[in-house]
Amino acid sequence: MSRSRYRLLLAAPLVGALLAAGLGACSSAPAATPPATPAVTAAPVLTGAAAGQVMYEQSCASCHGAGGVGIKFTLDNQTIEVPAITFAELDALYHDKFDTMAVDTITKGVDEAGQPLNRMMPRWTIFSDQQLADIVTYLKTLK
């Protein structure tokens, strides 16, 4: 108790002096000048496959693997195989309807015949049309 009081008393004059100095500085200043704002450097805006890659890595790679090579793992004694989704794999399924079918697969969870995929494949509703196009552009680059 006495120790903390002692410290407080010691600190009080110091706080007073700092306050006085601060107030003095304020009242003598002609006008409040806002602090200089650091220059804002715009982050590069990714587009196309580069944007698609970022979304792929954040939302898809955990299941489909880096570069879309697919993943096989065992959980509760069950072997789960998440399919490869490289261009070659998907092109063999989607043919000339690659873009629309890939978007349907991603957003509705349906395969090339319109049949529902396993529920483990999420039905993605968070992506804008542009983001979906970028993801598909990225999928087409996967070898």
CB atoms within 10 A of CB 27: 7
Query: Which residue's CB is nearer to ligand HEC, number 20 or number 88?
Result: 88
Question: What are the tokens at 24?
Answer: 């003095």
Rounded CA gap, 51 and 55, in Å?
7
**Nearest distance in Å: CB 59, ligand HEC:** 4
Burial of 60 (0-12, 13-18, 19+ CB in 10 A): buried
Q: Which residues lie closer than 8 Å to 111 by C-beta, 6 or more apart?
A: 93, 105, 117
Query: Which residue's CB is nearer to ligand HEC, number 11 or number 100?
Result: 100
**Nearest distance in Å: CB 96, ligand HEC:** 16
**Nearest distance in Å: CB 45, ligand HEC:** 20
Query: Which residue's CB is nearer to ligand HEC, number 23 or number 80?
Result: 80
Rounded CA gap, 134 and 130, in Å?
6
Residues that bind ligand HEC (CB under 6 A): 59-60, 62-64, 82-83, 85, 90, 93, 102, 105-106, 111, 117-118, 120-122, 124, 135
**Nearest distance in Å: CB 124, ligand HEC:** 5
Query: Which residue's CB is nearer to ligand HEC, number 9 or number 113?
Result: 113
